[in-house]
Amino acid sequence: MKEKQIWQLIDRMTIEQKLGQMSVCEYGDLMKGGDNVYTGPKGEFALTEEQKKIVGGVLNFKDASAMIALQKKHLEEDPNKIPLLFMLDVIHGYKTTFPIPLAIGCSFDTDLAERCARAAAVESAVSGVQVTYSPMADLCRDARWGRVMEGFGEDPHLCAEMSAAFVNGYQRNADKNYEIASCIKHFACYGAAEAGRDYNCVDMSSYTMDEYYMPGYKAGVNAGAAMVMTAFNSLNGTPCTANTMLRDKLRTEWGFNGVVISDYNSVAELVNHGCARDLREAAKLAIAAECDMEMVSTTYLQEGAALVESGEISMEQIDRAVFRILSLKNRLGLFENPYAAADVQAEKRFCRCAGFLSLARKASTDSCVLLKNDGILPLKKRNGIALIGPFADSKEIIGAWSCNADPAHAVTIREAFCEENIEFEYARGCGDSLEESDRRGFSEAIAAAKRCETVVLCIGESMRYSGECRSRTEICLPPLQTELFEKIYETNPNVVVVLFQGRPLHIRALLKSRAVFTMWQPGAEGGHACADLLFGKSNFSGKLAMSLPHSVGQLPLYYNHYETGRPFDPNNAGAWTSKYIDAPNEPLFPFGYGLSYSKFVFSDAKITACGVKKENKMRVSVRVRNESDIDGSEVVQLYVRDVAATMVRPVRELKKFKKICLSAHTETVVEFMIGPKDLGFVHSDGSFYAEPGEFQVLIGGDPRGLLRLDLIYKEDKMRYNISRIAMREMAEPYVEAQNEQQRIL
């Protein structure tokens, strides 16, 4: 349909029909029967039968046949025959579940991320999905917040790269039939909810917002995301759903002209926030802020006509929203083919096809992070193993927000061991809940540990405790699992701990094990991936996308912090410096950290000017050698530090990363181009530029030991001094922190 035809259609619509297009309801509100899932509290309003015929979109439906049935019914009833938009939370896969986004972030592999999103888009498209409410681009620094599992961690650059990769995966396919629209969420700064309490208020300076929280959303918008979802929280005093940032930042500054949709019921919840005295005012504020679609609450339909009648809202404001919505439907080809790619046969062919399952298996191995290994891994023998713990045979490893996937399809560790003909004994040991107190399984587990040479202990936090509305004040393992660990370790110290978690947990007690790695929530192929890693068929290559804290008291915790005027001095613990007296400042394991079976050595870091005048580019290169007998992948990370600027700057900021594969005993030179845009920041007047002065460029694969190059940036060109100074080699952060803690205490 041409643009003018869209306007002609709008001109034919009544105000009621226009407001209908601006309304999104649950599938279950329109189609009786069927076990529809609801993803939030239902608003107090219900749609009238007439209103149901004119809504613009639905969310939460089961499959292609459900979509086809409703679209057919709707087209018979809608006076303008405008197709419904079918939307769903495809967060980490549709029927084939990939690792949770936090895990994918730990892969540091944007190509892998894009491929996973593209596979999810294919499965979704043939199942009738046109829009996914993904990726979540919220920066995550506080592990008390249950939704950190949906984000890409604490670094703005990684978050931006991953958000863009997901948008590209959803929206770009050689066969357009298999593209779905991406909805970036939650705009904005939802991850900074105070105290990690979900839906809580957010208050921050524009400096922090621009430096840390905005890059993820902006990258998604720049990648062409078709939709943006508002966040539940208030931001600097105004709830996001009615915040002028939607217009000033998103639309005017960034040039986003797509559809903005509220989050679930969040228009009506403006009344709860206390910034709208009633639902009529809530509708007025949200429409005025250019929130085009209202999800689930029905204030637009109930109050919109009166607002236009009274002149509080103009018809132009309504028409502009409807134009964006119809343009999205037009872009998706719905006017020509309202059923898009929905196809019951294709659904059977594509969903959980071998190719997608094998991709899920790779994504899972590549997003696991090896935290400790004294050499016990990879396991040399495929017998004499005690497989113990509540996650050893749990389908729950599929992860939270697993959409329409069937957890029964998840391959557990135990099932994978059976398939691989591993000789093992299995004992669950205990349940997985936080309140678990039933120790009856301990004896069987201890007996198995006694009989076997090696223990693989699968413990962690159930997916029931992460995701939306799952904030915790503690981030400990369930106490009974810690008790089980101690008993098993006492019986047999040859323990490999496999962690399952949707958020960073404090795991100090586990570090006496011989090896520890996290699989996060690994998705449908977690069992196969675990076996691949344990027995060396695959090698670890993941790096932490979120710092692992010593304790919940350190939160919010992030590596790219400011130095303060009294930086902690590990050699002078008693000094008047910024520290805790009962815990270290450092994380237990830092952002960017992760071990491998290979041994990568970095050397020969250097900077060469490239004289590319207009961007003042410079080439930073470093030699990487795999000194081991095992092929592996390494994430080469490049950070910068602005040593002195007119604003305080982070102690280091990730600006580039590249995942490389290196065969045993081979080496390569990795190069990055950097320029002023990698050295600059947003100034108080909103302008972005690099200030002349001294910078450090830090490069390596392990944040505990980076190579440092010093650089002097002059206004019009970059000169540089090169001094290779190995950063203070930090001992095992855990051991050092423990020693320091003893010193302090």
Assess 185 for contact with ligand GLC (CB under 6 A): yes
Cα(720)–Cα(711) distance, rounded to whole angstroms? Answer: 4
The terminus-to-terminus CA distance of the chain in angstroms comes to: 72
Q: How many CA atoms lie within 13 A of 195 on its CB side?
A: 6
Q: How many residues bind ligand GLC (CB under 6 A)?
A: 9
Using left for φ > 0, alpha for ψ between -120 and 50, and beta otherwise, residue 322 falls in alpha
Between 245 and 552, CB nearer to ligand GLC: 245
**Which residues, 607 to 666, sit near ligand GLC by CB under 6 A?**
none
Active site residue 198: no
Closest distance to ligand GLC from the beta carbon of 297 (Å): 12
Q: What is the amino acid identity at position 687?
A: S
Applying CB under 6 A, which of residues 10, 22, 47, 59 lies at the interface with ligand GLC? 59
Listing from the earlier edge strand, what are the strands of the sheet with 515-518? 369-373, 515-518, 495-500, 454-460, 385-388, 424-427
Closest distance to ligand GLC from the beta carbon of 264 (Å): 4
Between 149 and 607, CB nearer to ligand GLC: 149
Closest distance to ligand GLC from the beta carbon of 370 (Å): 31
Between 228 and 488, CB nearer to ligand GLC: 228
Closest distance to ligand GLC from the beta carbon of 410 (Å): 22
Q: Is 447 exposed, middle or buried (0-12, 13-18, 19+ CB in 10 A)?
A: middle
**Crossing angle (nearest 10°) for helices 354-367 and 110-126:** 150
Q: What is the amino acid identity at position 100?
A: I
Closest distance to ligand GLC from the beta carbon of 404 (Å): 13
Contact 643, 653 (CB under 8 A): no
Q: What is the amino acid identity at position 507?
A: I
- Spatial CA neighbour of 709 closest among 699, 701, 719: 699
- Spatial CA neighbour of 359 closest among 93, 633, 635: 93
**Which residues, 233 to 252, sit near ligand GLC by CB under 6 A?**
none
Closest distance to ligand GLC from the beta carbon of 403 (Å): 10
Between 60 and 168, CB nearer to ligand GLC: 60
Catalytic residue among 29, 63, 78, 263: 263
H or E, element range at 171: helix 156-171
Between 108 and 213, CB nearer to ligand GLC: 213
Q: Is 298 exposed, middle or buried (0-12, 13-18, 19+ CB in 10 A)?
A: buried
Between 187 and 639, CB nearer to ligand GLC: 187
- Spatial CA neighbour of 279 closest among 261, 265, 291: 265
**What are 548's two structure tokens?**
């692992």
Applying CB under 6 A, which of residues 27, 94, 108, 133 lies at the interface with ligand GLC? 133
Cα(113)–Cα(315) distance, rounded to whole angstroms? Answer: 42
Provide the 10 A C-beta neighbour count for residue 358. Answer: 13
**Which residues, 257 to 286, sit near ligand GLC by CB under 6 A?**
263-264
Closest distance to ligand GLC from the beta carbon of 225 (Å): 14
Provide the 10 A C-beta neighbour count for residue 408. Answer: 7
* 3 state SS of 428: coil
Closest distance to ligand GLC from the beta carbon of 336 (Å): 27
Assess 40 for contact with ligand GLC (CB under 6 A): yes
Contact 733, 570 (CB under 8 A): no
CA angle 506, 507, 509 (to 5 degrees): 130
Assess 138 for contact with ligand GLC (CB under 6 A): no
**Which residues, 87 to 116, sit near ligand GLC by CB under 6 A?**
89
Contact 517, 457 (CB under 8 A): no
E strand spans, 15-74: 23-26, 57-59
**Which residues, 479 to 518, sit near ligand GLC by CB under 6 A?**
none
Cα(137)–Cα(153) distance, rounded to whole angstroms? Answer: 9
Between 264 and 520, CB nearer to ligand GLC: 264
Between 124 and 481, CB nearer to ligand GLC: 124
Cα(233)–Cα(583) distance, rounded to whole angstroms? Answer: 31
Cα(490)–Cα(476) distance, rounded to whole angstroms? Answer: 21
Distances (CA, A) of 49 to 29, 271, 367, 623, 657: 10, 26, 48, 68, 54
CA angle 350, 127, 185 (to 5 degrees): 110
Between 226 and 458, CB nearer to ligand GLC: 226
Closest distance to ligand GLC from the beta carbon of 134 (Å): 8
Between 40 and 99, CB nearer to ligand GLC: 40
- Spatial CA neighbour of 262 closest among 446, 87, 439: 87
Q: What is the amino acid identity at position 198?
A: D
Closest distance to ligand GLC from the beta carbon of 468 (Å): 5
Closest distance to ligand GLC from the beta carbon of 59 (Å): 6
Between 61 and 597, CB nearer to ligand GLC: 61
Catalytic residues: 263
Contacting residues toward ligand GLC, per CB under 6 A: 39-40, 59, 89, 133, 185, 263-264, 468
